[in-house]
């Protein structure tokens, strides 16, 4: 088993980390409490720094790399300025910390319902799968089903991939414990590949505590993902291509874009567009940064950023994973200096960086003891877990893009769209000035003469529905889609951007 030196740096500095195999073939790892805390702090710091570093470029480079000629700024007050503008950049952090708070309040075995209640109780900005999960929870859908693709067209988006960090941070060396936590949390907003992104990230965090070999962590963690999944195939490609082009991350990026850049199924925002928020492509950019960064923190987050697309979330993940591996003390001083300015300031409606580190450290100690390890004085003995695959899930199974109809019209002027297939997505929004916050538009969607759904469209931004309508589960046939606004009010309009129709693979 390739647990390389149990984080060589820690051993060389203080000889406070050691490994030995027990009679059951498991690898027992011993860290000092000080080193464990330093890794926890490094994980959270790396995540925040990576997110901040990539913030100015988020979704500004779609299906293209950020050229070397584009300077990514980092200066005095770099993190504080994002706090001062509302902190919306840090959805990676504040959703993550919400789940840390839930563990603190409800214990290590906190059920899905508890995580869902905490998530729903926060009024911070959300997007894509998270926002649809909030909408579903408000409508009374069971939390564990809110991320399923029948209920969430963003099931494969990267939302859980960017907020599963806490599960790995609190499970040092205990990969399967981390994935079990992911099962309780991740299906609130994700399913299939969308869930696997979070499972994989959490597994890499967990392994980063016990190995200083980046390639080993990336490869070994992938064992938690079913081999028949699309996500597994994509990550395997990146690992393989990195060996073919060991000194050229841009060639590896070109391979990723050529094979995995299209997004005709899943997130409606990316259909026939260069925009891509799917887990596998952005997960590939996390791995790209880790493998080609070769343990250098600055290079790691820079590559994950320059890969484009969600270029704040991806360096947040690669930076956090590497931060857990090398520890806070070994992060570059120029980044830590800016983080120290805000370390006591709460993230959007949650706790501060400093408090989050304390909570995660205590949760890690609790997990160690519960899973067969031991906390003895100043040392922590971890019962290492060999990664086991989670069950196979497939989102949007059998679906195939039919057509994308550009509409760009008010619902009052929308006549119909005809197609042959099994379902459709209608993209648009409720718009207007001085609409009462408690107003909920009711939009009836008909397939032929059959009412498929009365869509409830809240005017309150944080309660909105990301799409006007989606349904993928109609019997195969010829359909005419029509809409009827049941309760129009003065000053309000419903704008339809496009209608995306789906058929099935033959």
pLDDT of residue 419: 97
Q: Domain 8-383: give its CATH architecture.
A: Orthogonal Bundle (1.10)
- Phi, psi for residue 489 in degrees, rounded to 5: -130, 160
pLDDT of residue 265: 83
Strand order in the sheet with 492-504: 399-410, 492-504, 423-432, 469-471
Report which DSSP code applies to 390.
P
* Residue keyed to tokens 């940064």: 289
What pTM was estimated for this model as a whole? 0.94
Which of 354, 334, 358, 336 lies closest to 345, judged by CA? 354
Give the containing element (helix H, strand E) for 16.
none
| Residue 114 zone, left/alpha/beta (φ > 0; ψ -120 to 50; rest) | alpha
Which of 133, 47, 61 lies closest to 97, judged by CA? 47
> Which ranges in the chain are annotated with CATH 1.10.4080.10?
8-383
Which of 358, 352, 353, 362 lies closest to 108, judged by CA? 362
- Phi, psi for residue 482 in degrees, rounded to 5: -130, 160
Strands (E), 45-163: none
Rounded to whole angstroms, how far apart are CA atoms 22 and 20? 6
Structure tokens at 475: 């019997």
Rounded to whole angstroms, how far apart are CA atoms 294 and 300? 7
pLDDT of residue 9: 32
| Cβ proximity of 9 and 328 under 8 Å | no
The rounded Cα 197 to chain-centroid distance in angstroms is: 7
- Phi, psi for residue 269 in degrees, rounded to 5: -65, -20
Rounded to whole angstroms, how far apart are CA atoms 10 and 325? 10
Buried b (16+ CB within 10 A) or exposed e, 180-200: bbbbbbbbbbbbbbbbbbbbb
Q: How do the pLDDT tens digits run along the chain, 506 residues long?
A: 344 444 333 332 232 344 444 333 346 799 999 999 999 999 999 999 999 999 999 999 999 999 999 999 999 999 999 988 876 899 999 999 999 999 999 999 999 999 999 999 999 999 999 999 999 999 999 999 999 999 999 999 999 999 999 999 999 999 999 999 999 999 999 999 999 999 999 999 999 999 999 999 999 999 999 999 999 999 999 999 999 999 999 999 999 999 999 877 889 999 999 999 999 999 999 999 999 999 999 999 999 999 999 999 999 999 999 999 999 999 999 999 999 999 999 998 899 999 999 999 999 999 999 999 999 999 999 999 999 999 999 999 999 999 999 999 999 999 999 999 999 999 999 999 889 999 999 999 999 999 999 999 999 999 999 999 999 999 999 999 999 999 999 999 999 999 999 999 87
Rounded to whole angstroms, how far apart are CA atoms 212 and 65? 28
Structure tokens at 443: 């939009």
pLDDT of residue 27: 61
Signed CA dihedral, 323, 57, 346, 369: sign only: negative
Convert the pLDDT of each residue in 364-422 to its tens digit: 999 999 999 999 999 999 999 999 999 999 999 999 999 999 999 999 999 999 999 99
> What are 417's strand-pairing partners?
481
Structure tokens at 204: 């890499």
Structure tokens at 261: 């850049």
Angle between helices 33-54 and 353-370 (to 10 degrees): 130
| DSSP of 77-90 | THHHHHHHTTSGGG
| Cβ proximity of 412 and 495 under 8 Å | no
Signed CA dihedral, 12, 17, 21, 25: sign only: negative
> Which ranges in the chain are annotated with CATH 2.60.120?
399-504
Rounded-to-5 percentages of helix, strand, coil across the chain:
45, 20, 35
Which of 42, 40, 39, 61 lies closest to 312, judged by CA? 61
pLDDT of residue 13: 27
Class of the domain covering 399-504: mainly beta
Rounded to whole angstroms, how far apart are CA atoms 334 and 447? 58
| Cβ proximity of 266 and 395 under 8 Å | yes
């Amino acid at each position: 088993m390739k647990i390389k030196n149990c984080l060589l740096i820690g051993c060389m500095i203080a000889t406070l980390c050691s490994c030995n195999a027990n009679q059951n073939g498991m690898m027992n790892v011993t860290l000092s409490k000080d080193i464990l805390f330093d890794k926890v702090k490094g994980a959270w710091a790396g995540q925040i720094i990576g997110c901040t570093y990539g913030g100015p470029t988020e979704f500004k480079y779609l299906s293209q790399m950020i050229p070397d000629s584009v300077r990514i700024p980092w200066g005095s007050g770099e993190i504080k300025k994002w706090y001062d503008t509302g902190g919306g950049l840090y959805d990676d952090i504040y959703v993550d910390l919400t789940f840390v708070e839930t563990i603190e309040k409800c214990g290590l075995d906190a059920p899905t319902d508890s995580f869902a209640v905490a998530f729903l109780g926060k009024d911070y900005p959300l997007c894509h799968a998270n926002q649809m999960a909030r909408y579903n929870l408000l409508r009374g859908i069971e939390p564990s089903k809110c991320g399923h693709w029948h209920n969430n067209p963003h099931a494969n988006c990267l939302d859980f991939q960017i907020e599963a960090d806490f599960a790995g941070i609190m499970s040092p060396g205990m990969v399967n414990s981390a994935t079990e936590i992911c099962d309780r949390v991740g299906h609130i907003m994700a399913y299939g590949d969308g869930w696997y992104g979070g499972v994989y990230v959490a597994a890499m965090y967990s392994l980063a505590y016990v190995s200083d070999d980046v390639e080993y962590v990336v490869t070994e963690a992938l064992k938690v993902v079913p081999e028949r999944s699309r996500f597994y195939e994509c990550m395997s490609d990146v690992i393989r291509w990195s060996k073919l082009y060991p000194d050229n991350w841009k060639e590896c990026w070109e391979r990723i874009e050529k094979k995995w850049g299209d997004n005709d199924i899943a997130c409606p925002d990316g259909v026939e567009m260069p925009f891509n928020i799917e887990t596998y492509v952005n997960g590939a950019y996390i791995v790209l940064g880790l493998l080609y960064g070769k343990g250098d923190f600055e290079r790691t987050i820079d590559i994950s950023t320059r890969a484009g697309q969600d270029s704040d979330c991806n360096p947040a993940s690669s930076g956090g994973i590497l931060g857990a591996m090398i520890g806070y003390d070994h992060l570059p001083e120029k980044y830590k200096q800016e983080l120290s300015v805000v370390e006591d300031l709460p993230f959007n409606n949650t706790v501060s960086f400093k408090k989050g580190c304390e909570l995660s450290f205590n949760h890690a100690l609790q997990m160690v003891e519960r899973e067969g390890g031991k906390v003895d004085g100043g040392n922590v003995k971890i019962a290492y877990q060999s990664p086991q695959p989670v069950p196979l899930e497939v989102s949007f199974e059998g679906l195939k893009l039919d057509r994308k109809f550009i509409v760009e019209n008010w619902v009052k002027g929308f006549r119909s769209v005809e197609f042959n297939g099994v379902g459709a997505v209608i993209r648009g929004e409720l718009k207007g000035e001085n609409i009462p916050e408690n107003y909920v538009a009711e939009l009836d969607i008909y397939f032929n003469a059959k009412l498929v759904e009365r869509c409830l469209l809240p005017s309150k931004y944080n309660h909105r529905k990301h799409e006007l309508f989606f349904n993928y589960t109609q019997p195969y046939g010829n359909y005419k889609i029509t809409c009827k606004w049941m309760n129009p009010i003065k000053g309000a309009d419903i704008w339809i951007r496009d209608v995306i129709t789906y058929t099935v693979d033959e």
